[in-house]
Amino acid sequence: MLNSDYRNILYPCNLGITLSADFSESLTENLTRFINGAFDSFFYNIYVNKWSLNQHFIVNLGREENIRKNEQFNETVTLYPTNIFYASLKRIQNLHRYSTFRLGITNLPLYSSTKKNLIFLYGEAHINRKCAVVSTYNLRDIQMNLQNEPPIVKERIIKESIHELGHLILGNNHCINSDCVMNYSNNLQKVDEKSIFPCNSCDEKLKEIREIYNF
């Protein structure tokens, strides 16, 4: 079943990717390449820009304190609600009207604004706002330094980015195929085991949208 909101979007469209940390050029190049591979012909262009999310901005948006212990890294951190990122991304979207969808990638730890028991998220999509956010915070292993961007971390970032964009196109449901990029992953092993691309079943849903819009 297709996302009931898909008719409000004209395909193909443009995608804006906004980075809130200094990721390597190779990561952004591979991210663009694999997004185009996963969603062939859905995006005319993919634009990448930097994004400064400073403390003043967070306070102005009314950040909710959520201080939690991360057992994986044995550290106490402040988690940030996803709604502040959606608000920021929509502001950017209003300034740059060339993109229909907006994906934000941050290294800050996240929790869901709608389901507050969902913490240390890999990512989340907001279909009505046509934007999604991915956090790299928990995509690293305890022995890894994220700033060095080991190949496995780059691949995880790309997979979760494609996953959240898939929700914007196909809707909130997850795929039951464990190999599909649209399968729900609640640990790094599942992220590493799944493909970077949609499965045949999800590809059929993408094909159906292409047929509707004749592209």
Given this model, what pLDDT does residue 141 score? 76
Q: How far from 13 is each of 9, 75, 184, CA to CA, in Å? A: 8, 41, 26
**Distance between CA 85 and CA 110 in Å, rounded?**
10
The string of pLDDT tens digits covering residues 120-147 is: 999 999 999 999 999 999 998 765 554 5
SS3 content of the chain, % helix, strand, coil (to 5): 40, 20, 40
- The Cα diameter of the chain in Å comes to 51
Identify which of 29-43, 84-98, 142-156 has the greatest average pLDDT. 29-43
Continuous segment of H or E residues that includes residue 208: helix 200-213
- List the one residue out of 187, 186, 184, 154 whose CA is nearest residue 167: 184
Given this model, what pLDDT does residue 144 score? 56
Confirm whether pTM is higher than 0.85: yes
Cβ atoms of residues 104 and 161 within 8 Å: no
Name the average pLDDT for the chain: 86
Q: Name the CATH topology of 11-213.
A: Collagenase (Catalytic Domain) (3.40.390)
Would you list the DSSP string of 62-101? TPPP-EEEETTTTEEEE-EEHHHHHHHHHHHHHH-TT-SE
3-state secondary structure of 27: helix
Work out the angle between the directed axes of helices 151-170 and 25-38 (0-180°, nearest 10).
Answer: 40
Evaluate if residue 43 carries a pLDDT over 90: yes
45-62 residues labelled b (16+ CB within 10 A) or e (exposed):
ebebeebebeeeebeebe
Given this model, what pLDDT does residue 148 score? 59
Q: How confident is the model at residue 2 (pLDDT cuts 50, 70, 90)?
A: low
Given this model, what pLDDT does residue 56 score? 46
25-43 residues labelled b (16+ CB within 10 A) or e (exposed):
eebeebbbebbeebbeebb
What token pair was written down for 89? Answer: 């991304």
Catalytic annotation, residues:
164
Cβ atoms of residues 174 and 182 within 8 Å: yes
What token pair was written down for 187? Answer: 């640990």
The string of pLDDT tens digits covering residues 52-78 is: 765 545 555 545 557 666 766 677 888
Over residues 28-39, the mean pLDDT reads: 97
- 């996963």: which residue's tokens? 38
Given this model, what pLDDT does residue 91 score? 84
Evaluate if residue 153 carries a pLDDT over 70: yes
Given this model, what pLDDT does residue 208 score? 96
Domain parsing of the chain, residue ranges: 11-213
